[in-house]
A and B are shown apart, each in its own frame.
Chain A
């Protein structure tokens, strides 16, 4: 399925390493949280990018302790939507970005639908695996079809309350 980053289709350089496989010496690898827990030292000492698949019932704090409190030691965090109705990963994403200051890639997998892309982007996802004939077009529509936002989420968009305060202050200066 197509992988998008910031709305553009990209190749996926990450090799998923599940339980029985050996971790390759080189190249970016993506491991489940459970494997990072059991092979933490080996994985963290590798001289290549490390990514983690975080199940949606895991606490973000459980991941941060494995990387000495610094999520930026990771190059990719993959969050799961086992069903589109299951919205736990939205909270995980905001905690990862806003509470823990993670700046690396944050990917949504599972049942990712075009109509959820705006919410995902607003919560801090910059990569999605999207089952679509026109993923780039879908992304573009989804993130632009509703322009205004009321809530601050750390996605950098100015919120409607902030825009209003700005207008009020300008009026105040002009008066």
Chain B
């Protein structure tokens, strides 16, 4: 994992002192709320209905055991004993007081963490593959680049007052687990014909009110030119992005308005002034950061995850291994995914004691490392297969053993009308109703990979456009209804879901989705996942379910 040097630590410490002064000026009235707002936002502090919410950056979703323990301590000391892991691999605390916010940031800095740029119209925390460094199909560890981007974007003087927020994601593997085609900038690592690793640069993707699949602006940018190329993109966006309407201010709107060709021409012209400068990533700089991500000292072991599942002493354990443990690049090891989607658990929430336990388990079983996924689950990335039974037993005892990762009840849901002022409809009760409907875990495994995303409004915080089944909450004359889409996906074949039928009440939505699943089971071909069947047959056979249910 990346370790701060004195430069990184000093910057974060000075930033805490700066924010403490800004908070003092706000509390004394020297700063108006309007003047203070952008300052607190750039430190991750939102003002919600009842309290402040603090969003803490978890760079590219990687956490150490010590960092997880600090998050638990913050949850206990400053919040109500829990935290919420987000779809951007961060964590949010919902019951924060303004006066205590600087103390929380000081506590975070002691474990090399911060809340910089987790909000505001700046470059946000860079997200990546939660299986970075351990996925068998990986070309190169994307965390190296993500850390370079973290540093470059931190307090960037030119790009801290952009037209709107800006999100960058990177994948180092052909299987895209970072949703790079639905980000403002997506980076996909691959090799050119000489075998050199670099990036396909994708621009103008995004979800929200105007969902767009990103377009490739340059098929290959070598590593050393990455920052100059991105700086050119940011500069064009900062100059020409709309500022008159916040709903039209994201880069996707600009790219769409002028077209990718003209946008590319502007970027390339700007790039000529920026490349071959100090912005170039020197090979020694890349190597020095790469050294932080050197693999841990794995034991020489044998065996595969499939063998571990087949050889499990217990059918429940075997089911958990099949659902939650993914193949690792090193023999005899597995990537353990810990579900935060138990029945009656708000998706992504973890209590302070669960966080402490995960820190302990990471130390015992995973070389002290934890990851956060954009599906709002956690990962222990380096587990010996022989440790799976003991690890599973410990997770199970803490309510963290739900065997549903990637399955129908591993639902991504936003806070919805229960917590959010923007929402039109509740999300969590519908997620819980679906979880109960699909509570039979053997059947869930039979159904296989299926992603359901539920957003409570068109801001699409739960990314419903890219759910295999997407659900959007709408308000019709005071009634909460749900609009269902099919066929969305955020992987390397990213696509937006298609609307099927009119919006329906919550109970009907549950029946409808159960019907879609039945249709899929009836018509699927061997080896076909839900999304593959939808891709093959389209939405028509599923619409028949709709009529049957009506």
Q: How far is the CA of A99 from the CA of B235 in the complex (A)?
A: 13
Known contacts A91-B238, A115-B39; is-contact A146 B152 (Cβ 8 Å) = no
Q: How far is the CA of A119 from the CA of B162 in the complex (A)?
A: 13
| Inter-subunit contact B11/A148 (CB<8 Å) | yes
Q: Which of B145-190 contact A (CB under 8 A)?
A: 151-152, 154-162
Q: Interface centre among A95, A98, A161, by most B CB within 10 Å?
A: A161
| Inter-subunit contact B243/A150 (CB<8 Å) | no
Known contacts A90-B238, A119-B157, A146-B155; is-contact A85 B18 (Cβ 8 Å) = no
Known contacts A90-B238, A163-B7; is-contact A152 B158 (Cβ 8 Å) = no
Known contacts A90-B161, A164-B5; is-contact A149 B235 (Cβ 8 Å) = no
Majority-rule SS of B interface residues? helix
Whether B261 is near chain A, meaning CB under 8 Å from some CB there, is: no
Closest residue of chain B to A59 (Cβ to Cβ) is B239
Known contacts A85-B38, A90-B238, A91-B239; is-contact A151 B10 (Cβ 8 Å) = no
Q: How far is the CA of A118 from the CA of B235 in the complex (A)?
A: 19
Please give the distance in Å from A4's CB to the nearest CB on chain B. 18
Known contacts A85-B121, A161-B282; is-contact A123 B158 (Cβ 8 Å) = yes
- Of B17, B154, B278, the contact of A145 (CB 8 Å cutoff): B17
Give the number of residues in A that approach B within 8 Å (Cβ atoms).
38
- Residues in chain A near residue B14, CB distance under 8 A: 145-148
- Residues in chain A near residue B154, CB distance under 8 A: 150
| Inter-subunit contact B278/A162 (CB<8 Å) | yes
Whether A88 is near chain B, meaning CB under 8 Å from some CB there, is: yes
A interface residues with partner B (beta carbon < 8 Å): 59, 84-88, 90-92, 94-95, 98-99, 113, 115-116, 118-120, 122-123, 145-153, 159-165, 168
Pairs A-B, 3 closest by C-beta atoms: A87-B161, A122-B157, A152-B278
26 interchain pairs, CB-CB under 8 A? A87-B162, A88-B238, A90-B157, A90-B160, A94-B158, A95-B273, A98-B273, A99-B273, A118-B157, A119-B161, A122-B157, A145-B17, A145-B18, A146-B11, A146-B14, A147-B10, A150-B152, A151-B158, A151-B279, A152-B277, A159-B278, A161-B151, A161-B285, A164-B5, A168-B284, A168-B288
B interface residues with partner A (beta carbon < 8 Å): 5, 7-8, 10-11, 14-15, 17-18, 21-22, 35, 38-39, 121, 151-152, 154-162, 235, 238-239, 243, 273, 277-279, 282, 284-285, 288
Given A84-B161, A88-B243, 17 further pairs, Cβ under 8 A: A87-B158, A90-B238, A94-B235, A115-B39, A116-B161, A123-B157, A123-B158, A145-B18, A146-B155, A147-B10, A148-B11, A151-B152, A152-B277, A153-B158, A165-B282, A165-B285, A168-B284
